[in-house]
Each structure stands twice: as C-alpha cells, then as structure tokens.
Amino acid sequence: MTSVDPNKIAYVDIYPPVNVARVGDSDKYFIGSEVPGVEPTPEGGFKDKDFKIKKQ
C-alpha cells in the first residue's frame, strides 16, 4: 500500500452514503428523525439529568 500525504487531500467522499448516529455515554436514548431537513428534538433535550449525552 502506498502512503498518502494527508495535507494533499482536498476532500473525501464516502460511498455509498452512510447515516451517522450519536453514541453517547448516557443510558438514555432517543429516536432521531428519518425525514431530511427535520431536526430531531428529543424530549428533555440531548442530555440526561446528569448531563450525559443520550444515544441515538
């Protein structure tokens, strides 16, 4: 395998496109919207009562 200088990379495409989910440190979770352009707003926000990030 040849080595690539990361400073010469202009952009990187991921194909096929992949979805990204939030992986938090809380035991709580929420179901994110699957509709493009709709922002997910989980009940109680994105963090639990201990300010840990909820999983998606």
What percentage of residues in the chain have a pLDDT greater than 90? Answer: 32
Mean pLDDT of 24-48: 84
Instruction: Give residue 39's domain range.
Output: 18-56
Measure the CA angle with vertex 13, ends 39 and 53; round to 5°. 35
* Inside any domain, residue 50: yes
| Structural domain contains residue 4 | no
What count of other Cβ atoms lies within 10 Å of the Cβ of residue 54?
Answer: 19
Cα gap 46→31, rounded to integer Å: 11
Q: Is residue 6 included in any domain, yes or no?
A: no
Residue of 15, 19, 16 whose CA lies nearest to 32: 19
- What pLDDT, on the 0 to 100 scale, is given for residue 17? 73
Please indicate, yes or no, if residue 3 is contained in any of the structural domains: no
Range 30-53 average pLDDT:
84
Average pLDDT, the chain: 84
> Does the pLDDT at position 37 exceed 90?
no
Question: What pLDDT, on a 0 to 100 scale, did the predictor assign at position 27?
Answer: 93
Question: How confident is the model at residue 8, as a pLDDT?
Answer: 92
